[in-house]
Amino acid sequence: MTIATEQSKVIDGVKVEQWVRMYRRMVMVREFEENVNELYTRALMPGLAHLYIGEEAVAVGICEALRETDYITSTHRGHGHCLAKGAAPDRMFAELLGKKAGYCKGKGGSMHIADPATGNLGANAIVGGSAGIATGAALSAKRLGTGQVTVCFFGEGALGQGVLYEVMNLAALWKLPVIYVCENNLYNEYTHFSETTAGEMSSRGMAFGVPAESVNGQDVRVVYAAAQRLVERARRGEGPAFLICNTYRYHGHHVGDINREYYRSKQEEQEWKTKRDPIKNYAAWMIENKVADTTKLEEIQKEVHAEMKAAVEFAIAAPYPSPEEAEQDVYA
Amino acid sequence: MTIATEQSKVIDGVKVEQWVRMYRRMVMVREFEENVNELYTRALMPGLAHLYIGEEAVAVGICEALRETDYITSTHRGHGHCLAKGAAPDRMFAELLGKKAGYCKGKGGSMHIADPATGNLGANAIVGGSAGIATGAALSAKRLGTGQVTVCFFGEGALGQGVLYEVMNLAALWKLPVIYVCENNLYNEYTHFSETTAGEMSSRGMAFGVPAESVNGQDVRVVYAAAQRLVERARRGEGPAFLICNTYRYHGHHVGDINREYYRSKQEEQEWKTKRDPIKNYAAWMIENKVADTTKLEEIQKEVHAEMKAAVEFAIAAPYPSPEEAEQDVYA
Amino acid sequence: MPEAATRELTFAQAIREALAEEMRRDKRVCIFGEDVAEAGTPFKVLSGLVEEFGRERVLDTPISEAGFTGMGVGAAMTGLRPVVDIMFGDFLTLTMDQLVNQAAKVHYMSGGTWKVPMVLRTTLGATRRSAAQHSQSLHAWPSHIPGLKVAMPSTPYDAKGLLKTAIRDENPVVFFEDKMMYKLKGPVPEEDYTIPFGVADVKREGADITMVATSSMVQVALGAAEKLEQIGVSAEVIDPRTTWPLDEKTLVESAKKTSRAMVIDEGYGRYGVTGEIASVIAEGAFYSLEAPVKRMGAMHVPIPFSPPLEDVTVPTEQTVFEAARVLCGKA
Amino acid sequence: MPEAATRELTFAQAIREALAEEMRRDKRVCIFGEDVAEAGTPFKVLSGLVEEFGRERVLDTPISEAGFTGMGVGAAMTGLRPVVDIMFGDFLTLTMDQLVNQAAKVHYMSGGTWKVPMVLRTTLGATRRSAAQHSQSLHAWPSHIPGLKVAMPSTPYDAKGLLKTAIRDENPVVFFEDKMMYKLKGPVPEEDYTIPFGVADVKREGADITMVATSSMVQVALGAAEKLEQIGVSAEVIDPRTTWPLDEKTLVESAKKTSRAMVIDEGYGRYGVTGEIASVIAEGAFYSLEAPVKRMGAMHVPIPFSPPLEDVTVPTEQTVFEAARVLCGKA
Ligand SMILES: Cc1ncc(C[n+]2csc(CCOP(=O)(O)OP(=O)(O)O)c2C)c(N)n1
Ligand SMILES: Cc1ncc(C[n+]2csc(CCOP(=O)(O)OP(=O)(O)O)c2C)c(N)n1
Ligand SMILES: [Mg+2]
Ligand SMILES: [Mg+2]
C-alpha cells in the first residue's frame, strides 16, 4: 500500500501525514464523545457534559495550524478542543469521572480541562469567560517575543457577552496574536442564534478593527486553510482575526437534552448529519484524492476505537482523590 | 422688532421660536458651567465637576427633538443634558452644592442629577453605566405603548464598555425606541480616543444591527435635524439608532484639570474655540438668516446671565440637609 | 406557616405559581432571561409561562447578563415590574455593576424620586457536580449592599410567599433559589398570600440550642435536629428567610432562650453571612451565651467537581449534628 | 515596623516606589489600566513610571475594566506579572467575573497546574465628595472568595512592603488603597523589604481595649486612642493588613489581654469585614470578653454627596472614641 506510507507526499499543499492526522483526530473526538455519552447513560459520569459531535472539523482544522507551544482557551463544549490540541484521552476521561489521574486531579471536570503541556489554558464554563484570558496570553507572547499564537474558541452565544468586544478592541489596538474562533452551531442552548444576534455576525469583528471571515466549519480542509493563513498572519505580528466557523452539534445542548423537537426539528438534525458530516465527507475526499484508502481509514477507526476503550477503562479503574485534597491547590 | 416676535415663522423647516429656544438653551448651558467653574474656584462647591462647555450643541440639538415625556440618561459630564431636557438651574446648582433644595436633596451631586418631571432618568458616574437603563426604559415605552423615546448620552470613552454592545444588540432585536448618542470629544479623560478605539467608530452600531450616523456636533442645526429624524423613526417603531456627534470640551476633564498640555495642545484647544464654537457660529447664522438680530441675542444672554446669578445665589443661600437625612431614601 | 395546606407543590411549582399569579394580577410584571421562554429555563421552573403570557411578557435574551439586568433597572424605573432571570448564581459576577452601582443606588441618589421595583431571581448551592463556576452561593455580596433586599426561601411555601412579596416590593430584590431544592415538595395553600420580609420563621422549636439556617441549609439543620433529639438535645431551627432586612430580634431572643447558637449557611464561611449573623447573636445574646456561636459555611475553596471532594465542602446533616453535639457538651 | 527610617514618603510615593523597584527587578512586571501612562492615573500615583519603563510596560487601556482584568489573568498565566489598575474600587463591580470566576479559580480548577500571579490595585474610601458610585469600600467581596488574597495597607511603610509582597506572590492579590491617604506621609526605608501577608501589625500597644482597624480606619483608630488616653483608657490598635490571609491569632490574643474589642472598617457594616473579624474574636476570646465586640463600619446607605450627610456615614475619631468609651464603661 503506497498511498498510506507516503506520508511526506504533498496533496493540495499539505503533507499526507497531516491530512491523515486530521482524520484521526476527528475520529478521536467523535469516539471520545460517544463514550462520554455512554458513560452518562450508564450513570458512571457525575454531572453533565456538552458533546462536540458534529463540530469536529472546527477544533481539528484550527489546531492543525497551531504549534504545540501555541495556546488555546476552550469552552463548556470543550473536549474537542482539548483533544485536537493534543490532550490524552485517558487523563481526560479520568477528569470527567472526577478521578485523581485526571488533568485537574478531578477538581475541574468536563468543563475545566486545562493542561500547560499542550498549551491549553483551560476550558471555561462562563460563556465568553475566556476571551480575556486568551487575549492576555497573546499579550504575553507579544511582550516576551515568543512567537506564540493564541486561539480563543467560543460558541456564537458568546457574542452576547460584552467582554468579547472589550478584548477584541484591545487586541486590535495592540496588534496581539490571537484568533477569535466563533463556532456558530446555530443555538445558544435552546434558543436559535437569530433571536439573539442582531446585525451581520462577521461585522462584529471589523467594528473593533479585527478582520473577520466566515467559513464552512464542516470541512476540515477549509477550516485548516483559513486557520493556517490567519495564524501565520498573527505570528508575523499583523494582529488578531475573527473566524466564524459554521457548524452544528448533533446531540443535545448537554447529554441530558434528549427531546429537542420543541426547539429544533428532527429534519434539520438529519440534514446536517447526512449531508454535511465532517468525517464522512472528508473520508470521501481522502479516498477520491488518494490521500488514503478505505482500509487505512478503517484501520484508523479501529485503532482509535481501541484506544478510547482502553482510556475509558483506565478512567473507570482510576481512584478518586481523597477528601483532604479538597483543601489543596487553592493557593499556589 | 418683527423678527423676534414672529415666533411661529418657519425658517429651514423649523419655527423661529424653536431656533431661539435652542440658542437660549445653549447659552444657558454655557453660563451654567461658567458659574460651576467659578463655584469650584471659589471653593464653594464640594468635590469636582465635569464641564460641558464646547459641547452645548449636542445636548440642545438632541433634546429639542424630544418631548417632555421622553426620557434621557446622562453622564458624569451631564449638566448640559439635564438643562437641555428642561431642568431648572436653581435646583441644579443647589444639588451641586449639596443642598436640600437640589434635585436629589443633596444626595447625588454633580454626577447624579435625576428628575422624573423632565424625563431625566439620571446622570451616571459609571462610564457606560446608563446604557442598560436607557434601553430598559425603551422596553417599557414599547411594552406600555406610550410612544416615548429614550436618548442615551455617553462619551466616546463608553465605547470601551462591553455592556453598551449587549444592550444595542437587544435594542435592535426588539426594535426598541432608543437613540444612543455618542459624544465624541476626542478624549477619554487624558487619553486620545484613537489610542482606545480600534476600527471605524460608526461600525460599532451596524455590527449590532443599529443604524449609525456621524454628524458635526458643533452645529446645533445639524444635530437637531439628525435627532429629529432618528427620534421620529424610533417613535414610529422602526427601532434604535446610533448617533455620533463630533465635539470638543473646552475645559479640562474636570474642573481641577488645568494644565493639559501633556495630553493636548493649546493650539488644538484654540482652534476649536475660535473656529468651531457652537454658540458663536449659530449666532452668526441666526443673524444672517434673520432668525434673530444682535439685540435679541444680547437680550437673551443678559436674561440668562441674570437667571444664573439668581440661581447661584439661591443655591448658596439654601440650607444643607440635616444629618439624619443620610439614612432616608435608601428604600422606597 | 401554612394554614390550609390542601395540596403539595414542589419548590419549582411554587415559584412558577407565584410568577403566574402575579403576572395575572399585574400586567406590568414581565420576565426576561436566557431560555426563559423557549425552554422555560434549563431547570424548567418557568415551563408554561410563555404559553399563557406570550413572548411580549416572557422574553428570551441573548447571553448578556449585564445588559439585560441593566435593562431590568431601566424598565423598572419606567413602569414595568421586571423579574430578571440569572440562570446560575455564579453569573451574578457579571451583573454586579448593574445591580450594585445602578439598581441599589438609583432611589437614594435621586433623592427618593426614582424607584426600581425589580426582582432578580437566581440560584445558589453546590453538590450538583457542576464544578467551581456553577456551584457558588454568593448571596453575601448583595446582602452587603444597602439599597438591595435579599430573600432566600427554604420551602415551597416560603418560596411562593416571598416571591410575591418581592414582586410587589418597590425596591430591587435579589431572590436566591437553591437549585437542588426545586424538586422538594411541601404544602402550599391555594389562596393568595405573601410573606413579609424581615420576619424569621421558626422551623422547629427547641430549648437547648438555636440553629440559624438559610436556604439549602434549613433542611440540613432540620435533619440534624432530628438526630440531636435522639441524643436528648432539643434544637430550635430558625430561618431568617431574608438576609436583608434581617429579623435580628427573633434570632437573638432564641439564642437568649437556648444559650447556645450556631449559624449554617451554604455561602463561603469567610466574610459572609455566618459572620454577620453570628456577630448579631454574639452581641445581642452576649450575657446569655454559654459558648461561642458556631459558624458553618462552605469550605474556603472553589467548589471542586469530583464527588468525594465536593461532598466535604458543604455542611451536611452529619457535620451539623456533630458540631451541635460538641457545642452542647454532649460529645 | 520601619527599622532605618531615614526618610519620609507619601503613601502615593511609597506605592510608586514599590512598583518602580519591582519593575526594575523583574522585567515581567507590567502595569495596565486607564490613564496609567499618559496621566500617571488621576491620582498621579504612577507619575514617572512610563518615562522610565516605556509604553511597552505601562499600558493605557480603553475604559474596559472587565476586558483588561481578564487580560491580566491570561497574561499572568503565561509569563507576565501584571499589575492591573482599577481607578476606583467601585468599578470592581465590572471585574467580578474575571476576578472571581477566573483569577481566583484557575489554579484550583486546573488541579494546581496554572498560576495567576496578578495584582489588582484599586481604591476605597469615602469623604471625597464623590457620591455613591465613587466612594465605596468593597473589599469584603474579594475577601469572601477563596483563591484571592486581599491586602489593605494603612501607612506608606506597609503600602510599599505589602505591594512588593503582592507582586512577588504567585496568586491573584487584590490591593486596596485608601484614596484619601495618598498624601499621608510616613517613614519608608531605602532598602528593599517586603511584609509577609497574614501578619497583623500592632500600631499601638494598649491594655484596656483592642481596636482592630483596617486601611483608612487605622489613622482614625489611632486618633481615637489618643483621646482615650486622655480619659485614662489605654487602647491597643491592631491592623490586620491583609483580610485574607487573616492573622486571627494576634487579634484574638490581644482581645484576650484587654478583654474588650472593637472592629472598625470603612466597608459597609453589614455582611462584611466587621462581621468576620468580630466573629473570630468573639469565638477565640469568648471566655475573656467582658462585653460584646463592637462593630463600626460605613452606615448602611449608598454614600451621599452632600458633606453633612457624607460625614456621618463613616466612623470618625470622635464616634470611635465615644463607642470605645461606652464599651469600657467610662461613658
Ligand atoms: C455567562 C453565562 N451565562 C449563561 C450560561 C449558561 N449557558 C451554558 S452554555 C450556554 C449556551 C452557549 O451557547 P454557545 O455559546 O452558542 O455555545 P454552544 O453551547 O452552542 O456550543 C448557556 C447560556 C453560562 N454558562 N455562562
Ligand atoms: C466604569 C468607569 N471606568 C472609569 C471611570 C473613570 N472615568 C470617569 S470619566 C472617564 C473618561 C470618560 O471619557 P468619555 O466617555 O469620552 O467622556 P468625556 O469625559 O470625554 O465626556 C473615566 C475613565 C468611570 N467613571 N467609570
Ligand atoms: Mg451555539
Ligand atoms: Mg470623551
Task: Give tens-digit pLDDT for B264-274.
Answer: 999 999 999 99
What count of residues does chain B have? Answer: 332
Of C63, C299, C305, the CB nearest to A109: C305
Q: How many CA atoms lie within 13 A of A61 on its CB side?
A: 29
> What letter would DSSP give residue B320?
P
The separation between CA C323 and the C-alpha centre of its own chain, rounded to angstroms, equals 23
Residue in B56, B127, B181, B247 to alter for ligand 2 test, most ligand atoms within 8 A of Cβ: B127
Q: Is A227 helix (H, G, I), strand (E, B) or coil?
A: helix
Give the integer Cα–Cα distance in Å for A244 and A213. 6
Question: CB C247: neighbour CB atoms within 10 A?
Answer: 20
Burial B280-307 (b: 16+ CB within 10 A, else e): ebbbebbeeeebbeeebbeebbeebeeb
pLDDT (0 to 100) of residue C42: 87
Give the integer Cα–Cα distance in Å for B320 and C3. 51
What does pTM read for this prediction? 0.98
Of A162, A172, A196, the CB nearest to B199: A172
Helix (H) or strand (E) holding C201: strand C201-204
Mean pLDDT, range D294-316, rounded to an integer? 98
CA quadruple A6, A8, A11, A14: dihedral positive or negative?
positive
Q: How many CA atoms lie within 13 A of B125 on its CB side?
A: 29
* pLDDT of D22 over the 50 cut: yes
Cβ–ligand 1 distance for C34 under 6 Å, the answer: yes
* Per-residue model confidence as pLDDT tens digits over B140-173: 999 999 999 999 999 999 999 999 999 999 999 9
Residue in A48, A50, A112, A189 to alter for ligand 1 test, most ligand atoms within 8 A of Cβ: A189
In contact, A178 and A151? CB cutoff 8 Å: yes
Considering only CA atoms, which of C138, C152, C213, C180 is closest in space to residue C311? C180
In contact, D275 and D260? CB cutoff 8 Å: no
**How much is the mean pLDDT over chain B?**
97
Give the integer Cα–Cα distance in Å for C278 and C270. 12
Contact B46 D306 (CB under 8 A): yes
Cis peptide before B321 (omega within 30 of 0): no
Nearest atom in ligand 2 to B253's CA: 19
Q: Is D1 exposed, middle or buried (0-12, 13-18, 19+ CB in 10 A)?
A: exposed
The pairing of strands A120-123 and A71-74 is: parallel
pLDDT (0 to 100) of residue D41: 87
The pairing of strands C201-204 and C235-239 is: antiparallel
In this prediction, the residues of chain C whose per-residue pLDDT falls under 50 are: none
pLDDT (0 to 100) of residue A4: 47
Cα of A77 to ligand 3 centre, how many Å?
Answer: 9
**Percentage of chain A surpassing pLDDT 90?**
98
- Helices B278-288/B16-41 angle, 10° precision: 150
Mutant choice from B135, B156, B166 vs A, greatest count of A C-beta within 10 A: B166
How many helical (H) and strand (E) elements, i.e. helices and strands, does chain A have? 12, 10
Mean pLDDT, range B187-212, rounded to an integer? 97
Burial A24-36 (b: 16+ CB within 10 A, else e): bbbbbbbbbbebb
Strand partners, C31: C58, C83
> What letter would DSSP give residue A115?
B
Mean pLDDT, range A158-175, rounded to an integer? 98
Mean pLDDT, range A277-290, rounded to an integer? 97
* pLDDT of D151 over the 80 cut: yes
In the sheet that D235-239 helps form, which strands lie side by side, from edge to edge?
Answer: D201-204, D235-239, D209-213, D261-268, D294-298
Strand partners, D237: D204, D211
Mean pLDDT, range A119-134, rounded to an integer? 98
Q: Is D155 helix (H, G, I), strand (E, B) or coil?
A: coil
Tell me the backbone φ, ψ of residue C33, rounded to 5 degrees: 165, 180
* Per-residue model confidence as pLDDT tens digits over A199-257: 999 999 999 999 999 999 999 999 999 999 999 999 999 999 999 999 999 999 999 99
C-alpha cell at C87: 440562570
Helix (H) or strand (E) holding D319: helix D317-327
Residue in C32, C63, C88, C95 to alter for ligand 1 test, most ligand atoms within 8 A of Cβ: C63
Contact A329 D102 (CB under 8 A): no
Of D39, D305, D309, the CB nearest to B190: D39
Q: Give the residue carrying C-alpha cell 440637609.
A: B321
Q: Give the residue carrying C-alpha cell 467548589.
A: C303
Confidence class for position D4, pLDDT limits 50, 70, 90: low
Q: Which chain B residue has its CA at the smallest distance from A203's CA?
A: B207
DSSP letter for each residue of D116-135: ---EEEEEE---SS--TTS-
Mean pLDDT, range D235-260, rounded to an integer? 98
Strand partners, D86: D122
pLDDT (0 to 100) of residue D322: 98
Confidence class for position B3, pLDDT limits 50, 70, 90: very low
Contact A161 C133 (CB under 8 A): no
Confidence class for position A281, pLDDT limits 50, 70, 90: very high
Contacts of residue A168, defined as CB under 8 A and 6 or more positions apart, other chains included, come to A131, A135, A180, A205, A208, A209, A210, A240, A242, B198
Mean pLDDT, range B203-210, rounded to an integer? 98
Residue D263 to residues B250, C136, D283, Cα–Cα distance (Å): 47, 28, 14
- Helices D273-284/C273-284 angle, 10° precision: 60
pLDDT (0 to 100) of residue B314: 98
* pLDDT of B5 over the 80 cut: no
Q: How many CA atoms lie within 13 A of D276 on its CB side?
A: 28
> What letter would DSSP give residue A112?
G
CA quadruple C124, C126, C127, C132: dihedral positive or negative?
positive
In contact, A110 and A95? CB cutoff 8 Å: yes
* Per-residue model confidence as pLDDT tens digits over B82-95: 999 999 999 999 99
Q: Give the residue carrying C-alpha cell 505601562.
A: D58
* Per-residue model confidence as pLDDT tens digits over D171-222: 999 999 999 999 999 999 999 999 999 999 999 999 999 999 999 999 999 9
Task: Please indicate if any CB of chain A lies within 8 Å of the CB of B200.
Answer: yes
Phi/psi class of residue A86: alpha, beta or left (left: φ > 0; alpha: ψ in -120 to 50)? Answer: left
* pLDDT of B283 over the 70 cut: yes
Helix (H) or strand (E) holding D81: strand D81-86
Of C128, C129, C301, the CB nearest to A326: C301
pLDDT (0 to 100) of residue D38: 83
pLDDT (0 to 100) of residue D39: 87
Q: Give the residue carrying C-alpha cell 454531572.
A: A47
The pairing of strands D185-187 and D8-10 is: antiparallel
C-alpha cell at C14: 411554587
In contact, B138 and B176? CB cutoff 8 Å: yes
C-alpha cell at A237: 505580528
Q: Given the residues D134, D139, D144, D300, select the one marked as catalytic.
A: D134
Confidence class for position D3, pLDDT limits 50, 70, 90: low
pLDDT (0 to 100) of residue A8: 81
User: Which residues of chain B does C30 touch, with a Cβ-Cβ cutoff of 8 Å?
Assistant: 143
**Percentage of chain A surpassing pLDDT 70?**
98
Q: Is C229 exposed, middle or buried (0-12, 13-18, 19+ CB in 10 A)?
A: middle
Q: Tell me how many degrees the CA angle C308-C311-C317 measures, rounded to the nearest 5.
A: 135
Q: Which chains have 3+ CB pairs within 8 A of A? A: B, C, D
Contacts of residue D215, defined as CB under 8 A and 6 or more positions apart, other chains included, come to D124, D125, D137, D139, D152, D153, D154, D176, D178, D181, D265, D266
Give the integer Cα–Cα distance in Å for C255 and C247. 13
Give the integer Cα–Cα distance in Å for A235 and D253. 58
- Helices B89-96/B16-41 angle, 10° precision: 20
Give the integer Cα–Cα distance in Å for B51 and D199. 46
Mutant choice from A170, A175, A178 vs D, greatest count of D C-beta within 10 A: A170
pLDDT (0 to 100) of residue A1: 41
Mean pLDDT, range B233-250, rounded to an integer? 98
Mean pLDDT, range B190-212, rounded to an integer? 97
Question: CB B221: neighbour CB atoms within 10 A?
Answer: 18
Mean pLDDT, range B5-34, rounded to an integer? 93
Question: CB A281: neighbour CB atoms within 10 A?
Answer: 16
User: Following CA atoms C180, C186, C189, C193 in sequence, which dihedral angle do they give, to the nearest 10 degrees?
Assistant: -40
Confidence class for position B8, pLDDT limits 50, 70, 90: confident
Q: Tell me how many degrees the CA angle D51-D52-D53 measures, rounded to the nearest 5.
A: 100
Q: Is B48 helix (H, G, I), strand (E, B) or coil?
A: coil
Contact C97 B112 (CB under 8 A): no
pLDDT (0 to 100) of residue C3: 55
pLDDT (0 to 100) of residue B4: 47
Confidence class for position B1, pLDDT limits 50, 70, 90: very low
DSSP letter for each residue of D288-302: T-SSPPEEEEE-SSP
Cα of D39 to ligand 2 centre, how many Å?
Answer: 14
Identify whether D134 is a catalytic site residue.
yes
Cis peptide before D245 (omega within 30 of 0): yes
Mean pLDDT, range D145-170, rounded to an integer? 98
Q: Which chain D residue has its CA at the smallest distance from A136's CA?
A: D71
